[in-house]
Structure 1
Amino acid sequence: MPECDHCGAHVSDRFARVFADKSGNVRACPSCSANAGIAEVARERAHKV
């Protein structure tokens, strides 16, 4: 089951298909970021790694 790489929360397969990067990493989810900014937060976190 997919999970957020940042907070470890479970995310649905559908959420992962939409928000995961090319490697399948989900760097932000509704549990650890604002719903309106998930894509932006994920991009910021990806650049910090």
Structure 2
Amino acid sequence: MPKCNHCGAHVSERFARVFANERGEIHACVSCSANAGIAEAAKERARGA
């Protein structure tokens, strides 16, 4: 099961398909980011990684 690379929370396969980067990493999830800002937070964290 996929998990958030930032907080370690498990996420659904569907969430991972939508929000994971090209390497399958998820840099923000609903547990560590507001729903409205998941995509933006993921982009920012990916740039910093």
TM-score calculated relative to the size of structure 1: 0.98
Question: How far is the alpha carbon of 1:37 from its aligned partner?
Answer: 0.6
Write the mapping of 1:1-49 to structure 2, written as runs, cut at 5 A.
1-49=1-49
Question: How far is the alpha carbon of 1:6 from its aligned partner?
Answer: 0.1
Alpha-carbon RMSD: 0.3
**4+ residue runs of structure 1 moved beyond 3 angstroms?**
none
Once residues 19 and 48 of structure 2 are traced to their aligned partners in structure 1, the CA distance between those partners, rounded to angstroms, is 17
Gaps of 5+ in 2: none
Gaps of 5+ in 1: none
Question: How far is the alpha carbon of 1:40 from its aligned partner?
Answer: 0.2
TM-score calculated relative to the size of structure 2: 0.98
